[in-house]
Structure formats: structure tokens, C-alpha cells
A and B are shown apart, each in its own frame.
Chain A
Amino acid sequence: MHDVKTDAATGAAMDSAWSGGTPPFAMGSKKLGMWLFIVSDTLTFSVLLITYTYSRLTNPDWPKPFPMNPAIIFSTTMTVVLLASSLTMVMAVMAAQRNDRKAAVLWIIATMAGGLSFMGLHLREWFHLFEEGATITHNPWGTPQFGAVFFGITGMHMTHVLIGVIYLGIVATGYGRGKFSAEDVEVNGLYWHFVDLVWMFVFPLIYLMSVKY
């Protein structure tokens, strides 16, 4: 408090975030808004994963439809693909910050390719489960809740990936044409890394907790 300089005429504090006129977290409103969205979406996924964990541990006949080979190897590949797309997004943000528009757009396109590959692999996994008789209300292995939980949580995540790919496409186009700034790429990056972060919980909790030996 003693270090705060005051304006001689008004007595108001200067050089302080509380005096107004400066962003308190030294970032733009778009980035701050994305962080707030991420916090709220974290809570949405937390609810889904907490209730899933409860169902998983309290049902002794919880289905275990994922053999190490091929299902776990397949889902591990999906995880590495999504992680790789996060790394390409980091490169896109770094390119945008040094104002290299061409490189940034190419890295964003690489990120979109990663996202689309993840979705393709995931849909293949879904169709394989459909062929085995698993639906949202029924499965041939045990507790019927499995379908609702599996398709609900992975479907919610895949919706986020799809929205992320569309969002990346819009930002790549806008940034390439000079309409968007580096901050827009960074905010897009925050969303994409969040989608990756959620999968870091979905993959072990859904797949690795239901391995068929």
C-alpha cells in the first residue's frame, strides 16, 4: 500500500490495476473469455467423469469390451495423434507471434488434419462397438449404463473436437487473409489444448479401466 503513487489532484492510485485503464491480467478480453469458458467446460466434463467413475466402481459387472490388442493399441494411437495435434498448435501460435502468417496457417492445417484423423479413428471404434451390439441403452456384456456413459462422454468429447476443427478452419482462413490477429490464433490454441487435456482424462478412465484380459 505504501508503494502506491497517488495523483496529486485527485488522490487516486496510479500504476495500479485497480485504478482502471489497464487489463488486470495483462491479456485481452478474448483470451480471458476463453479461459472462463474452459473453466465452465471443465466442470461439465468433471460431472460426467465423476458420475462415470461412481458407476464404474459400484457395478461389479461393468463391461470390459476393450482388449489390449487391438482396442487399447488403437485408442493409444488416437491419444498420440491428438497430442501431436497439440504440438502443431503450439507451433502455429509461435509462428503467429513472430508474424509468420504462412507458417501459422500451415501449422493450423496440420492441427486440423490431426483432429480429423482422431475423429476418423474414433468413429471407426464406435462402429466396431455397434457391430458388436453395443448401443446407448444396451450392450451384450453387462451393466446397460455402459453405452450411455461411453457414447455420452466420448460423444461429448468428439463434438468438442468437431467444433475445434471448424473453429481452426475459420481462424486459419481469417488469419491467412489478415483479418484476425495473433491473439485470435492463441485463443484458438487454448481451446484446442483444452480438448486435448480432456482426452487425457477420458482415455485412461474410459478405456484403461475397462480392459478385457
Chain B
Amino acid sequence: MNTNTHAEEAHAGASVGTNLAIWIGLVAITGLEVFLAYKQLQPTLMLTILVVLSLVKAAMIMSYFMHLKFEKFSLVLWLVPAMIFCICMMMIFFFPEAFRLLQLRPH
């Protein structure tokens, strides 16, 4: 019985209005990104802003559309830190070697 109650709580999710608000927010952030592209920012600054905005959009989609906000918090603790750790490891090993190879490039 306990498990069923948990499952029902987990399935509750957000209301139609909340999901619609999230969707409007996602479209608005997309509009902001396009506006930034129109403003012709310096590539590194542009990249940083775009990645941050994309992470915000990803968090909105995962939390509300994918119901992660309404699942048990232990699931978030199980999935998200492991994923971030793997991405950090990829970046730690990839970039130093990639930049070393770049310096070897004939000019």
C-alpha cells in the first residue's frame, strides 16, 4: 500500500497551467538566444551565455515535463551527480590533450 501511495504521488505531476507556463518560458528563452545571436557577441562570451541558458532550459524540461521534480529525491541524487561527474571527467581528459595537439599544428 505504501508503495502505491508513493507511486500515485510521483504521478501527480504539475497542472496543465504550470506546464503551459514552462513551455512559454522555454519559447521565451529560445527567443532570447536568437536575439543574442542577432547582437553579434564575441564567440567565447556568446558560447558561455548560450550554454548557461541551455542548462536552464534542460533543467525546466527535466523538472516539469520529465517529472523529475515529482519523483523521489533519491532518484535525482542517483542520476544527476553521476552524469555531471562523467561529463567533468570527459572535459578534464579531453581539453589538455586537445590543446596540446593544437600547439603541434603546422602554421
A8: Cβ under 8 A from any B Cβ: no
Which of A27, A54, A91, A93 is the most central at the interface, judged by chain B CB atoms within 10 Å of its CB? A27
Look across to chain A and name the residue whose beta carbon is closest to the beta carbon of B29: A200
Q: How far is the CA of A22 from the CA of B86 in the complex (A)?
A: 29
> Contact: A213 with B40, CB < 8 Å?
yes
Tell me which residues across on chain B come within 8 A of A110, comparing CB atoms.
none
Q: How distant is A74 from chain B, measured CB to nearest CB, in Å?
A: 12
Q: How far is the CA of A43 from the CA of B65 in the complex (A)?
A: 20
Interface size on A, residues (CB 8 A): 51
Look across to chain B and name the residue whose beta carbon is closest to the beta carbon of A204: B50
A90: Cβ under 8 A from any B Cβ: yes
A134: Cβ under 8 A from any B Cβ: no
Q: Which of B17-32 contact A (CB under 8 A)?
A: 19-20, 23, 26-27, 30-31
Which of A22, A53, A68, A76 is the most central at the interface, judged by chain B CB atoms within 10 Å of its CB? A76
**Per-position binary interface string of chain A over residues 201-213, scored 1 when its CB falls under 8 Å from any chain B CB and 0 otherwise:** 1011100110101
Tell me which residues across on chain B come within 8 A of A50, comparing CB atoms.
87, 90-91, 94
Give residues in A with beta carbon < 8 Å to B.
Answer: 15, 22-27, 35, 39, 42-43, 46-47, 50-51, 53-54, 56-58, 68, 72, 76, 79-80, 83-84, 86-87, 89-91, 93-94, 97, 186, 189-190, 193-194, 196-197, 200-201, 203-205, 208-209, 211, 213
Give residues in B with beta carbon < 8 Å to A.
Answer: 2-3, 6-7, 9-11, 13, 16, 19-20, 23, 26-27, 30-31, 33-34, 36-38, 40, 43-44, 46-47, 50-51, 53-54, 57-58, 61-62, 65-67, 71-72, 74-75, 78-79, 82-83, 86-87, 90-91, 94-95, 98, 102
User: What 4 A-B pairs have minimum CB-CB distances, sorted nearest first?
Assistant: A26-B6, A204-B50, A208-B37, A200-B57
